[in-house]
Amino acid sequence: MQLIDIGVNLTHGSFAKDREGFIARAAQAGVCQMVLTGTSVEDSEDALALCREFDHDGQRLFATAGLHPHEASHWSGDSARQLRVLLAEPQVRAVGECGLDFNRDFSPRPAQERALEEQLVLACELGRPVFLHERDASERLLAILRHYRDRLPGAVVHCFTGEKRALYAYLDLDLHIGITGWICDERRGSHLHELVRDIPRGRLMLESDAPYLLPRTLRPRPKHGHNEPAFLIEVLNEVARHRGETPECLAAHSTASARAFFGLPEI
Report all structural domains of the chain as residue ranges with CATH numbers, in order of start.
3-262 (3.20.20.140)
Sheet holding 176-179, edge to edge: 3-8, 31-36, 61-65, 92-101, 130-135, 155-157, 176-179, 204-206
| φ and ψ at residue 3, rounded to 5 degrees | -125, 150
Comparing CA positions, the residue from 132, 61, 136 lying closest to residue 106 is: 136
Residue 127: burial class (beta carbons within 10 Å; 0-12, 13-18, 19+):
exposed
* C-alpha–C-alpha distance, residues 203 and 160, integer Å: 12
Length of the chain: 267
| Residue 5: predicted pLDDT | 98
Say if residues 83 and 115 touch (Cβ distance below 8 Å).
Answer: no
The pTM of the full predicted model, rounded to 2 decimals, is: 0.96
Largest separation between any pair of C-alpha atoms in the chain: 48
* C-alpha–C-alpha distance, residues 258 and 90, integer Å: 17
| Residue 17: predicted pLDDT | 85
pLDDT in tens, 152-193: 999 999 999 999 999 999 999 999 999 999 999 999 999 999
**Tens-of-pLDDT digits for all 267 residues of the chain?**
999 999 999 999 888 888 999 999 999 999 999 999 999 999 999 999 999 999 989 999 999 999 999 999 999 989 999 999 999 999 999 999 999 999 999 999 999 999 999 999 999 999 999 999 999 999 999 999 999 999 999 999 999 999 999 999 999 999 999 999 999 999 999 999 999 999 999 999 999 999 999 999 998 888 788 999 999 999 999 999 999 999 999 999 999 999 999 999 998
